Amino acid sequence: MDLYERIYDIVRAIPAGKVTTYGHIAEAIGSRGGARLVGWALNAVALSDRVDIPCHRVVNRLGELSGRMHFETPFVMRERLEAENVGFRGEAVDLSRHLWIPPMAG
């Protein structure tokens, strides 16, 4: 399976109301230092017409919305998360309440 598709499968598995990080996805696919690769894969979604991948549920390691500039407006990512009842502490997602860690690839 294509590496990007493995990333997309994980992102599709993130439950509503939860988020995960680029680094956690990278670890799950066996690429411990591959957070940038995950970012590139999600950026490719933003440049396509795919709507089946909830990229808004992926944040940086601090819970910040580092991908927000790849949405229609810089506010869409937060609006989608808030619509799923994801809580924030300032500008960052409250990871103590909303972090979902994907299972390791088998």
What is the tens place of the pLDDT at every residue in 45-86?
877 878 889 999 999 999 999 989 888 899 999 999 999 999
Q: Which of 27, 24, 38 is nearest to 93 (CA)?
A: 24
Judge whether 63 and 19 are in contact, CB under 8 Å.
Answer: yes
Inform me whether the pLDDT recorded for 38 exceeds 80. Answer: yes
Domains of the chain, start order: 3-98 (1.10.10.10)
Q: Which of 17, 7, 16 is nearest to 40 (CA)?
A: 7
3-state SS class at 99: strand
What is the tens place of the pLDDT at every residue in 13-32?
999 999 999 999 999 999 87
Active site residues: 55
